[in-house]
């Protein structure tokens, strides 16, 4: 009770504030999403994501080594698939010599201790830009899950430490766990995108991979709302996370990040596995755009947002700011 208790005593200077600080950040809290392109010595900046590039495998490997030296211990990788390899089956996704599989092998060979979590979804491989197989005008759940199991096993064979299903199909975590175990990959983990919302924050990411839903000569859903979650819902996110844990997920993810911190805290309070939060491309792009115009202090906003995500309950933050934040923390 005032005046016996004065909260400002614990805020007098930075030394005191650091002593009582409840949340801290380190580079090992971050996972860096990476986009991989065909070719050699390829480095193409994504216009809507300043500072983020599609890199060929050789340059990706060099970047991974830099990230590891900064203390970052995980990468989440995505591939830009050539148009001639796309169809409605996604079969290129489990090609043992596909771009993703080559990238996993190269990263693990060059930096064995880096944790590699490849994306498991069919949208980069789909002629329709959807996360699964189109049948009768919709994304057909069970045949898509069959394809995802093949995809995940091929990632495990290439050396992935975790697979990261981002598709939001029903029952896919159980089927992935069963498939990986049957193939002898009991120690390959699953980081499930459990609460992935149908969000407008994904726009720049879809530019990076050309993975937005497309016009087609058959009936296809115009968006991803039949499988990604309604952003008006909270209880549904808890249900999805609990279901994924019961099916064998080793980690669960909430996506997007900053606008969904209430969901992060709810899930953190409910499950007993690590919680990953994806600070997505649109969230990144907004900070970049505002700071370029001088409206915000880039580094201060970057660190504040990352700290808030961690404070909300994230054990791991997948963020395009990972490298910049790690460099700042090293200083």
Q: H or E stretch including 310?
A: helix 298-312
d(CA 127, CA 216): 8
* Annotated active-site residue in 224, 255, 288, 323: 255
Task: Report the chain's C-alpha Rg in angstroms.
Answer: 20
Query: Known catalytic residue: 300?
Result: no
* Annotated active-site residue in 80, 86, 108, 196: 196
d(CA 156, CA 151): 9
The CA-atom distances, in angstroms, between 195 and each of 118, 205, 222, 308 are: 18, 18, 21, 18
Reading the block at residue 134, the tokens are 């189109």
Cis peptide bond upstream of 280, omega within 30: no
Query: Known catalytic residue: 288?
Result: no
Dihedral angle sign, alpha carbons of residues 119, 234, 287, 130: positive
DSSP string, 237-251: HHHHHHHHHHHT-SE
Residues noted as catalytic? 196, 255
């Amino acid at each position: 009770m005032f005046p016996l208790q004065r909260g400002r005593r614990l805020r007098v200077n930075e030394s005191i504030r650091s002593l009582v600080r409840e949340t801290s950040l380190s580079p090992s809290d971050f996972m860096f999403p990476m986009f991989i392109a065909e070719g050699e010595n390829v480095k193409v900046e994504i216009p809507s994501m300043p500072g983020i590039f599609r890199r060929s495998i050789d340059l990706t490997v060099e970047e991974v080594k830099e990230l590891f030296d900064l203390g970052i211990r995980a990468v989440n990788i995505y591939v830009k698939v050539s148009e001639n390899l796309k169809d409605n089956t996604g079969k290129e996704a489990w090609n043992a010599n596909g771009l993703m599989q080559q990238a996993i092998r190269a990263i693990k060979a060059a930096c064995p201790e880096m944790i590699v979590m490849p994306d498991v979804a069919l949208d980069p491989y789909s002629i329709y830009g959807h996360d699964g197989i189109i049948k009768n005008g919709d994304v057909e759940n069970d045949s898509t899950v069959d394809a995802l199991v093949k995809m995940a096993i091929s990632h495990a064979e290439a050396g992935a430490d975790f697979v990261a299903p981002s598709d939001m199909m029903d029952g896919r975590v159980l089927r992935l766990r069963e498939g990986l175990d049957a193939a002898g990959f009991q120690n390959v983990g699953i980081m499930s995108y459990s609460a992935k919302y149908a969000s407008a924050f994904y726009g720049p990411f879809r530019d990076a991979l050309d993975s937005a839903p497309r016009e087609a000569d058959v009936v296809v859903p115009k968006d991803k709302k039949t499988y990604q979650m309604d952003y008006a819902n909270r209880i549904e996110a808890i249900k999805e996370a609990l279901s994924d844990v019961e099916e064998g997920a080793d980690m669960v993810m909430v996506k997007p990040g900053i606008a969904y911190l209430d969901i992060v805290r709810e899930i953190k309070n409910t499950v007993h596995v690590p919680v990953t939060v994806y600070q997505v491309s649109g969230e990144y792009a907004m900070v970049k755009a505002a700071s370029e115009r001088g409206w915000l202090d880039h580094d201060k906003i970057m660190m504040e947002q990352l700290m808030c995500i961690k404070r909300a309950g994230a054990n791991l933050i997948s963020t395009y700011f990972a490298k910049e934040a790690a460099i700042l923390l090293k200083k």
